[in-house]
Structure 1
Amino acid sequence: MSWSTCYRFRFSSSAVVCLALFYIVVFNGLSLYGLIKSTYTPVSLPVNRDRLYFAYMKYDRALWKCKKPHLSQTPLPLTALASFPGSGNTWVRHILQQATGILTGSIYNDKVLKIMGFPGENIQNSSVLVVKTHDYGRNETQKYQRAILILRNPKDALLAEFNRLRGGHIGFARKEDFTKSRCF
């Protein structure tokens, strides 16, 4: 027997899971420690090294406000934000719109979304950052110059779509809805 076979051992699945959890805890602990000991503070504010230092946020709230969304002044490439229903398309639209300040469009005309913060609903031109779509096929794909494809675990996407159909965009299906023989 060679010396290499003496040191060779096989990890069980529980040992791998324990090692992964240990790595995550240590990595996050070191990251938090680094944040606590961080030397960054605005020059005009007193230094407080006892806890995470987020106090500077309250002094200039204008820095932390999202931009009011508007149509782009310069033409943008027509970009599809494509996904299966329930994959988080509306959520990604919201993040993109708030981060850039440019409206996101949609091939749909959902009046609830229009009222709830998507004034670009039903706009499908180069003045919006992306255009939400759940459609596919040659005719649909030829409309766009670019595409962002959102993928999600099918089980989670179907559950989210079922909740949307039964409870609205931000609601949930009732318990009774899951026991009916006809789901969709």
Structure 2
Amino acid sequence: VLKMDESIFHNKYMFKDCSCLSSHQDKSKSNSHDRLKLPSNLTKIQDLPSTGKTRSLWPDDPDCKRFTVGFSSGLPLVWLASSPRSGNSWTRYLIEAATGVYTNSRYHDRIMINLGYYGESEKVGTGRCMATKTHLRWAPGEDHHVPTILLIRNPA
């Protein structure tokens, strides 16, 4: 379970700590994957370093056209895992709008790039995107302790 400080969605403050404690871990024990630490000097979304191509999320809205999304740097890998057709792209849009940082994916889908998901073309693990879309289970040799946002859709 990935727990984020709720301030990411309130008052435009950047999350400071994430904990990725799975239900089977002993919460009294600590390992390098229990707490995901971001640099302490990053306290607001606006403090994230921005590099490369940016775009306005709402260019035709005079009140919101100043809000942009772009690449960052030095971010940890966080998976955004889901089954196909469960709202992953919509969730990516919300993450990008809330943080101002692109998300990417394992798939490098040209259609998604053309729709404005410019992070889609970014390689996995570069530290330039907030979260990485995946529909896959872990592959042999991958680190199984990467923080993960698990998206589950109830179709009812």
Partner Cα separation in structure 2 for residue 97 and residue 130 of structure 1: 9
The Cα shift of 1:68 comes to: 1.9
Residue type matched to 1:94 in 2?
Answer: Y
Structure 1, unmatched stretches of 5+, are 1-59, 158-184
The Cα shift of 1:106 comes to: 0.4
| Pair 1:94 & 2:93 matched | yes
Any runs of at least 4 consecutive aligned residues in structure 1 with deviations exceeding 6 A, and if so which?
Answer: none
Partner Cα separation in structure 2 for residue 140 and residue 152 of structure 1: 29
Over aligned residue pairs, what C-alpha RMSD do you find? 2.5
Residue type matched to 1:129 in 2?
Answer: M
Q: Percent identity?
A: 35
Partner Cα separation in structure 1 for residue 128 and residue 70 of structure 2: 9
Q: Compare the two structures and name the one with the higher helix fraction.
A: 1
The Cα shift of 1:93 comes to: 0.3
Residue type matched to 1:76 in 2?
Answer: L
When residues 97 and 130 of structure 1 are mapped into structure 2, their CA distance, relative to the original with a 3 A threshold, is same
Q: Residue in 1 aligned with 2:131?
A: 130
Q: Residue in 2 aligned with 1:142?
A: 143
Counting only pairs closer than 5 Å after superposition, residues 17-56 of structure 1 correspond to structure 2 as: none
Structure having the higher Rg: 1
**Residue deviations 1:127-149 (CA, integer Å, cap 9, x gap):** 10000000003538627621000
Partner Cα separation in structure 2 for residue 88 and residue 131 of structure 1: 14
Q: Compare the two structures and name the one with the higher strand fraction.
A: 2
Q: Residue in 1 aligned with 2:111?
A: 112
**Residue deviations 1:56-113 (CA, integer Å, cap 9, x gap):** xxxx934x3362211113x111000000111100100011112211010100011111
Residue type matched to 1:149 in 2?
Answer: L
Normalising by the residue count of structure 2, what TM-score does the alignment of the two structures yield? 0.53
Cα pair 1:79 1:144 within 8 Å, conserved: no
When residues 140 and 120 of structure 1 are mapped into structure 2, their CA distance, relative to the original with a 3 A threshold, is farther
Partner Cα separation in structure 1 for residue 75 and residue 152 of structure 2: 24
When residues 89 and 66 of structure 1 are mapped into structure 2, their CA distance, relative to the original with a 3 A threshold, is farther
Structure 2, unmatched stretches of 5+, are 1-60
Name which structure has the greater RCO, CA cutoff 8 Å, separation 6+.
Answer: 2
| Pair 1:72 & 2:72 matched | yes
When residues 66 and 141 of structure 1 are mapped into structure 2, their CA distance, relative to the original with a 3 A threshold, is farther
